[in-house]
Amino acid sequence: MKLFEKKAFSLISLLLIMISSSPIEAARVNLQSTNHGNNENSSGDEKIGGVFVYKTTVQIFNNLDNQNQLTVHCKSADDDLGAHVVANNQDYEFKFRINFTGTTLYFCGLTWVGGTGLYDIFKASRDSFRCASKCVWRAHNDGIYGFKEGSNQTTADIIYKWS
């Protein structure tokens, strides 16, 4: 085998390993306060074969009034993360890797006593540059608000109203 073919074969093998690894890490409900700051334990990055594979975190905060609970049920074409009840002033988050083809889509059903809806929470064609490493959503009484990564979270760039 020629040197070029060996390098190409090695690169293709690495890509197949990256693609075949499970895209979803672990979903969790945070039972601490919503003041997360920059105290995360890890960057969410993993090194495979000398190459960093970045993970995206989606975080959904319950900022509803009157101690209302928010039920969150997120899915993709490959993963059903299950239903999670998020208490007031708490959050739910999950991490994943954007697929090689750039078509990753996570949609979530959000329900509370004042409304319900099914929303595209992460859509690679829209969000891979908008919030590639962290997408923050905040549920309020009038809808769910999405914020660009690095924003101060005072002005949402996406707003979904409750049905």
Residue 27 in any domain: the answer is yes
16 in a structural domain: no
| Coil, strand or helix at 162 | coil
Chain centroid offset of residue 148 CA: 13
Q: For residues 122 and 98, is the Cβ–Cβ distance under 8 A?
A: no
- Cβ distance 93 to 55 under 8 Å? no
Is residue 65 included in any domain, yes or no?
Answer: yes
Please write the tens of the pLDDT for every residue from 29-72: 544 433 333 333 345 555 444 444 689 999 999 999 999 999 99
* Mean pLDDT computed over 98-110: 94
Closest by Cα among 56, 50, 55 to 14 = 50
Q: Is residue 124 in some structural domain? A: yes
Residues 9 and 16: their CA atoms lie apart, in Å, by: 11
Q: What is the pLDDT of residue 54?
A: 81
Q: What is the pLDDT of residue 163?
A: 86
Whether 5 is in a domain gets the answer: no
pLDDT of residue 53: 62
68: nearest Cα among 81, 49, 87:
87
- Assigned token pair, 68: 């209302």
CATH classification at residue 152: 2.60.40
Confidence of residue 75 (pLDDT cuts 50, 70, 90): very high
SS3 34: coil
pTM tops 0.75, yes or no: no
* Tokens found for residue 131: 């919030």
Domain count, the chain: 1
In 10 A of CB 74, how many CB atoms?
24
- Given phi > 0 = left and psi -120 to 50 = alpha, else beta, which region is 102? left
Instruction: State mean pLDDT over 113-122.
Output: 97
pLDDT at 136 (0 to 100): 97
Identify the band that residue 100 occupies on the pLDDT scale cut at 50, 70 and 90.
Answer: confident
Stretch (H or E) spanning 59: strand 56-62
In this predicted structure, the answer to whether residue 120 has a pLDDT above a threshold of 90 is yes
The reply to whether 71 falls in a domain is yes
For residue 10, tell me if it sits in a domain: no
* Helix or strand (DSSP H, E) at 140: strand 134-140
Percentage with pLDDT > 70 across the chain: 67
The residue range of the domain holding 156 is 23-161
Q: What confidence category does residue 9 fall into, taking pLDDT thresholds of 50, 70 and 90?
A: very low
